[in-house]
Amino acid sequence: MVKIRLMGAFAHLAKARELEIKLESPKTVDEILRELIPRYDEFHDKIIFINGKPAKGDAVVEEGDEIKVMPVLSGG
């Protein structure tokens, strides 16, 4: 199982703060999140961690990994 923790707008859009999915084969973070979060690609800036380490959307995820993702907000 892969544990996914969603923050901010991602949690709102996916209607969940935490999800667990089973991977049949390795996938990238972006592939997984596109399936789970409506409008995921509209967020150009995001912070992604895999197993507590910074990652990019093209990082490959395998069974047992934990993903944490949050949108980057700007303003002032």
Q: What is the DSSP letter of 15?
A: T
Cβ pair 23, 59 in contact under 8 A: no
pLDDT given for residue 73 in this prediction? 76
Q: pLDDT tens digits for 18-64?
A: 999 999 999 999 999 999 999 999 988 899 999 999 999 999 999 99
The predicted structure's pLDDT at residue 75: 60
- Contacts of the segment 44-49: beta carbons below 8 A, 24+ positions apart: 45/71, 45/72, 46/10, 46/70, 46/71, 46/72, 47/71, 47/72
Query: Residue 46 is encoded by which pair of tokens?
Result: 């995001």
pTM of the model: 0.89
Q: What is the mean pLDDT of residues 56-76?
A: 90
Of 4, 37, 32, the residue nearest 18 (C-alpha): 4
Class of domain 2-71: alpha beta
pLDDT at 4 (0 to 100): 97
The whole-number average pLDDT for the span 9-13 is: 95
